[in-house]
Amino acid sequence: MNTHWMPEGTVYGTLLNFQREHALWAPRMNEAPYKAPPTAPVLYIKTANTFTAAGHSIALPAGQPVSVAATLGLVMGARGVTGAVLFNDVAIVHESYYRPPVKFQCVDGFLGVGPECVPLQRLGGLDGLSGLVLELRINGVHRQTTALAELVRDAGTLLADVNAFMTLRPGDVLMLGSDCLPDGTRPLVHAGDTVEISATGFKPAVHSFNAEHKP
């Protein structure tokens, strides 16, 4: 029997919430169409068709470079955040964050879900999350370290700022965002690769990638 945790509500992602990527994008924030840096969190949705349980494989569209990203999601309960889950946020590589097309983010299977929701209390509450470090490995080789101490908006601030303009319901998930590599890109995967995302206190989120099979 599959006992892996899966989202029950809407999963929201957050863009430009790590200091390095925010700084890389800062020179472009005054350009059209917005002509100013964002004042509120910039969110996107990972639709239910993207959810892939831990240990399962993700199909890659032929001929499309695909990136992976380690992130942490806050799981909402009736009285606020109840726990946190590791995620592998997969996307077709694209150049702009301005109105990113759904087709890049919401391909079938493109959200690798960690195997468990760890109670927030066990992690030291929202403030305790700033001490977490996420490690991303591809085929066992370390590719990226993501420190939640480097968030633009820490977990508590992001949650408050999002709640100021929308209601997060029980079962919804708010991902804190993902960091880029020093060159502004994210790690790429190919058919046959296996990605593992780990952090202290969590069971690793492991997903393999295979070529999409056309009928």
Q: Render pLDDT for 29-51 as a digit per residue (tens, 0 to 9).
A: 666 655 666 778 989 999 999 99
Task: Flag the least confident range among 55-69, 99-113, 117-131.
Answer: 99-113
**51 closest CA partner among 84, 11, 93, 91:** 11
What percent of the chain is helix, strand and coil (3-state, nearest 5)? 20, 35, 45
Q: What's the predicted TM-score (pTM) here?
A: 0.91
Q: Among 16-25, 26-35, 185-194, 205-214, which range has the highest average pLDDT?
A: 185-194
**Rounded to whole angstroms, how far apart are CA atoms 112 and 114?**
7
1 — pLDDT class (breaks 50, 70, 90) = very low
User: What would the mean pLDDT of 17-21 be, rounded to a whole number?
Assistant: 90
How far does the chain reach from its first CA to its final CA, in angstroms?
29
Q: Phi, psi at residue 34, to the nearest 5°?
A: -95, -30
| Residue 135 clears pLDDT 60, i.e. is over it | yes
**186 closest CA partner among 104, 75, 70:** 70
Q: Average model confidence (pLDDT) for the chain? A: 90
Q: Render pLDDT for 50-102 as a digit per residue (tens, 0 to 9).
A: 999 999 999 999 878 899 999 999 999 999 999 999 999 999 987 655 555 56
Work out the percent of the chain whose per-residue pLDDT is above 70. 87
